[in-house]
Structure 1
Amino acid sequence: MLRLPLSVPILAALALGACGDRAQDADPARREDAAAPAATARVEAQESATLRAVKRRGRLNCGVHEGLVGFAYTDNRGQWRGFDVDFCRALAAAVLGDPDAVRFVPLSNRDRLAAVRDGRVDVLWRNTSWTMTRDVSDGVAFAGVNYFDGQGFLVRRSLNLTSATELNGARVCVQGSSTSQLNLADWFRQRGIAYEPVVFPGEEEARQAYAREECDAFTADVSALAAARTTLANPEQHAILPDVISKEPLGPITRRGDEGWTAVVRWTLNGLILGEELGVTQAVARGRAEPRDPRARRLLGLDGDFGPMLGLKRSWARDALASGGHYGEIFERNVGTDSPLDLARGLNAQWNAEPGGLMYALPIR
């Protein structure tokens, strides 16, 4: 009788086992079952400490400006309104299913980042520029950009100025310890123009000093200047010069080290931007229509499990959109042509608009 070497049966067994593995891999149901534990682990990893805390208390703590018309302010009934406020409500809707489950925490320029770092707020949605120093050294994380701004100058029309280059020797009111103060110094130094900075601890104090004519010009982000002009006694007597001297990408901020929570904020913002691109309005989100566009179906939670990837419900983006509409609706209502600020979309137009802007949602897929 022929004797096979010992290694042959072992190799044969290994070959049969390998065939069995291939047979199992060929079965989609088996592959899906095998992948399920990994997928579950991936979802659980996104359940961040901040997200757990927000769900446990049933309320989002959102840091906002102390009072900036169009962006964050209280109306005559004491209700918070504004562009940034609507993003806070959308985030609360995405996480908790309730846009009113928000505690608004008004923060000054000086303590806004500290409030994020020490956990007094879960997210800061306040006009704060994304800079390298803040991103690298301040212990916070930027989740995206919801407003592309730039620094400008507010002046009295009676001065008959057409450009900031004509501010030679002018007194310029500015908020101290801010990017505005640094940009101001850079811009005048680069052009060799003399000026006198009149520095105040806060933007509100700088605006009030300008109103009292303690300076010839007031400098801040153009959006803040538009808001400030509406509060002056005779807004039509003041003009924002065409010069924009800096890039100011404004966006939501979270505490560094909680990537899962930063992802929740980032994708909620992206969902609102994508909603405008796809025509998913507040009315659509609140209705029962089921669009055929696969991108809209993923956004509304009809296809895929994108919400659970974040530790949220499948309807997270639908809930956010239903709270106050998509990005364009939020913009127009608070700071655009339907508002007292009457700001053009400009850089904040969608990337595929005519004319196009910089708003570009990351794909949900």
Structure 2
Amino acid sequence: MNAKLLVAGAALTLGMTSVAHAGPTLDAIKSRGSLQCGVNTGLPGFSNPDSQGNWTGLDVDYCQAYAAALFGDANKVSYTPLSAQQRFTALQSGEVDVLARNTTHSLQRDTALGLNFAPPNYYDGQGFMVPTALGVTKGSELDGATVCVQPGTTTELNLADYFRARGMNFQPVVIEAFDEVNAAYFSGRCDVLTTDISGLAGVRATLAPNPDDHIILPDVVSKEPLAPAVRHGDDQWYDIIKWVHHAMVEAEEKGVTSENVDEMLKSTDPTIQRLLGVSGDMGAQLGLDNKWAYNVIKQVGNYGEVFANNVGMETPLKLERGQNALWTNGGLQYAAPIR
């Protein structure tokens, strides 16, 4: 073997055995003693506060999963409610450590805004909701409609693209606050409410006086990979956010749940052993305790549990797994190998 190959091999071995160096974000979080998570101001099923200020939802569970991985305690997290227009500035400025707020991963946000996106925790698409009494059955019948939409979103851009591509006209009713745009629709200020289909399902199920008075049209007018985001420049923090998601998906695929995770510590499956910190040094590679994924699963659950508890068929939203099923069931959720 020549000298160049020897040097290359040594470098590769060193890279495989080194552990993560603490980055500025992780240092700041540990010094503070809690995670600061940016969430929606109130989106049923994803991030929504109750009358006592307790937050619940799929994105909230992700915030708790990060805290469990970092501290071994899912409760060491505070929430910063952010509007669509506030969210990126809050992340860029350091007001929040991570944005877990039904945000679409797009090229411009990935580059010009200086963000890194984790794998999508919910694959979605934009749709339209209309009053049943309007008699509309598909998007192509919306020519001339007034449409309620939030500014500073991919929703607003997709709306314009959809109508322009079809030679149709519409009148936008642009309102920033989530509760105000919904109120405008229900009061009749606009014919149509448009946002991600999961959001429409939440609004219809929890805010409509009578859900049967409103219909979500079958049209899916965009791809909306909703994903947590962090700032550019801290690879270690980005790695942690990514791998918490992979661990939750891997746990579901391997049948590891919040209820059986302690029993699964006895598993002879090498993948489960690495996932739960029984063997290997996966946590150290991330700068975390080797029980990081065990703590996530024990305290928050695997991906399937989080989906079912917040937006699944037994919740008011009644959303099917669809694209968010595991890849083994025809969906898009796929975990990179934990090894």
Q: TM-score, normalised by structure 2?
A: 0.93
Aligned to 1:52: 27
1:256 and 2:226 matched:
no
In 2, the alpha carbon distance for the partners of 1:101 and 1:236 equals: 40
Gaps of 5+ in 2: 1-5
Deviation at 1:316, TM superposition (A): 0.5
In 1, the alpha carbon distance for the partners of 2:143 and 2:14 equals: 67
1:364 and 2:334 matched:
no
Match of 1:174 among 149, 155, 166: 149
Whether contact under 8 Å (1:174, 1:203) holds in the other structure is no
Aligned to 1:126: 101
Whether contact under 8 Å (1:112, 1:124) holds in the other structure is yes
Match of 2:116 among 141, 149, 164: 141
Aligned to 2:177: 202
Q: 1:234 to 1:304 in 2, by over 3 A?
A: same
In 1, the alpha carbon distance for the partners of 2:246 and 2:149 equals: 33
Match of 1:154 among 129, 137, 151: 129
Identical aligned pairs, as a percentage? 47
In 1, the alpha carbon distance for the partners of 2:315 and 2:70 equals: 28
Match of 1:344 among 316, 320, 328: 320
Which structure has the greater CA radius of gyration? 1
Whether contact under 8 Å (1:92, 1:101) holds in the other structure is yes
Deviation at 1:309, TM superposition (A): 0.2
Q: CA RMSD in A?
A: 2.0
In 1, the alpha carbon distance for the partners of 2:196 and 2:118 equals: 20
Aligned to 2:306: 330
Aligned to 2:168: 193
Whether contact under 8 Å (1:134, 1:140) holds in the other structure is yes
Deviation at 1:134, TM superposition (A): 0.2
Whether contact under 8 Å (1:61, 1:105) holds in the other structure is yes
Whether contact under 8 Å (1:91, 1:268) holds in the other structure is yes
Q: Give the length in aligned residue pairs.
A: 332
Q: TM-score, normalised by structure 1?
A: 0.87
In 2, the alpha carbon distance for the partners of 1:35 and 1:136 equals: 29
Over residues 255-301 of structure 1, what are the superposed CA-to-partner deviations in whole Å (9 max), with x where a residue is unaligned? 11001100001001110011111111011224464112211111111
1:212 and 2:187 matched:
yes
Aligned to 1:183: 158
In 2, the alpha carbon distance for the partners of 1:357 and 1:38 equals: 33
Aligned to 1:237: 213
Q: Which letter does structure 2 place at the counterpart of 1:148?
A: Y
Match of 2:59 among 56, 61, 84: 84
Deviation at 1:141, TM superposition (A): 1.1
Whether contact under 8 Å (1:176, 1:202) holds in the other structure is no
Gaps of 5+ in 1: 1-21, 23-31
Q: Which letter does structure 1 place at the counterpart of 2:332?
A: L
Aligned to 2:290: 314
Q: Which letter does structure 1 place at the counterpart of 2:138?
A: S
Q: 1:105 to 1:303 in 2, by over 3 A?
A: same
Q: Which letter does structure 1 place at the counterpart of 2:60?
A: V
Aligned to 1:271: 247
Over residues 292-324 of structure 1, what are the superposed CA-to-partner deviations in whole Å (9 max), with x where a residue is unaligned? 221111111111101100000111111011112
1:95 and 2:61 matched:
no
Q: Which letter does structure 1 place at the counterpart of 2:71?
A: L
